[in-house]
Amino acid sequence: MSRLKNFPISFFSVILGLTGFTLATQKMETVMGFPAAVSPWLLNFVILLYALFLVLYATKLIRFPGEVKQEFNNPVKMSFFPTISVSFLLLANAFIEHNKKVSLFLWITGSAGHFVFTVIILTRWFHHDNFKIQQMSPAWFIPIVGNMLVPIGGSAHGFVEISWFFFSIGVIFWILLLSVFLNRIIFHNPLPEKLMPTFFIIIAPPAIGFISLVKLTANMGAAEKVLYYISLFFFILLLFQVNYFRKIKFYLSWWAYTFPISAVIISTVLLYHTAGLTALRYFIWPLWIMLGLLTVSFAVITIRKAINKEICVPED
């Protein structure tokens, strides 16, 4: 029972990572010629694991509401709650080609849930009495990036104006929050080691924004390319800092590497397919292989840590 009490909301980042890899694999199958046999198995596995996590966290909410309230009042952990709705939105995108009715249900549920999370969390940001700049981390982008995900499924299901509504929220608050984050990183103390992997989250908003804008405009214009190339620059910038990241011991925050890299792969496949930039093939394949190795490695380590009771324990 104590393990359930300490089941962290950040565990849902595992779902983001696995679903991102599933979506990237789908694109490799449909565009890059990879055999269409892997992604359905991945999708089924993610659904089962997500259902398990939802049951576990719902049980924690019922049995230990004080612990959940404490997590939500934490300036860092609070931003991980929207991973629940973001997971719905990612799964909605994964189902678009398989079952549009299921995709629509997941999209409506995810969009509505994420809007509620966005309003509540922004309200907390505006009216807090105990947040400090040092408590900010790239995890604060999670409530924002979810809004940019909505148009990907929304445009496929014909909800164009609603998609523009969410995209506008996402892109404006991303720009504002990026300025605040740069101020925090440059002029204040470095991120704690535990949160260092979340640096990769800064890649996701422009990469997903690029995909959403292409879906909304059916165009590959200047604005779309600016979003793509700034996400690519962030990715390259972080690769140059690999020595900082490889020294970090394992935390669940390691999963923050996977979803942003998936976003880079999917956006690059879209650029390759839409603009016909054939040279991108030589970037996409190694990146997808790297993502696969990271995902499998993180899954094995997470399972081993869970078995050894090194996860879901009281924090120091």
Q: Could you tell me if residue 314 is inside a domain?
A: no
Please list, in sequence order, all residues whose beta carbon lies within 8 angstroms of the beta carbon of residue 30, skipping any fewer than 6 positions away: 36, 97
The mean-pLDDT minimum among 155-164, 173-182, 269-278, 306-315 falls in 306-315
Q: Please give the Cα distance from 314 to 7 (Å, whole number).
A: 9
Q: Render pLDDT for 253-278 as a digit per residue (tens, 0 to 9).
A: 889 999 999 999 999 999 998 887 88
Q: Can you give the residue range of the structural domain that contains 25?
A: 2-307
- Which residues 6+ apart lie within 8 Å of 147 measured at CB? 114, 118, 166, 167, 169, 170, 173
Predicted confidence (pLDDT) at residue 17 exceeds the cutoff of 70:
yes
Q: Is residue 220 helix, strand or coil? A: coil
**170 located within any domain:** yes
- Residue 70 falls within a domain, yes or no? yes
In the predicted model, what is the mean pLDDT of the chain? 91
pTM, full prediction: 0.94
Is residue 37, in this structure, part of any structural domain at all?
Answer: yes
The span from the CA of 179 to the CA of 1, in Å, is 42
Instruction: Please give the Cα distance from 242 to 150 (Å, whole number).
Output: 31
pLDDT, tens digit (0-9, with 9 covering 90-100), for 37-80: 888 999 999 999 999 999 999 999 999 999 999 999 988 899 99
What is the pLDDT averaged over residues 209-232? 94
* pLDDT at residue 1, rounded to an integer: 59
**In total, how many domains does the chain have?**
1
pLDDT digits (tens, 9 = 90+) for 191-214: 888 889 999 999 999 999 999 999
Asked, for residue 313, whether it belongs to a domain, the answer is no
Is 316 part of a structural domain of the chain?
Answer: no
Q: How confident is the model at residue 9 (pLDDT cuts 50, 70, 90)?
A: very high
Is residue 312 in a domain?
no
| Per-residue pLDDT, 316 | 54
Does residue 274 lie in a domain region?
Answer: yes
CATH of the domain at 228: 1.50.10.150
Read off the pLDDT band of 113 (50, 70, 90).
very high
Residue in the structure block whose two tokens are 């590497």: 257
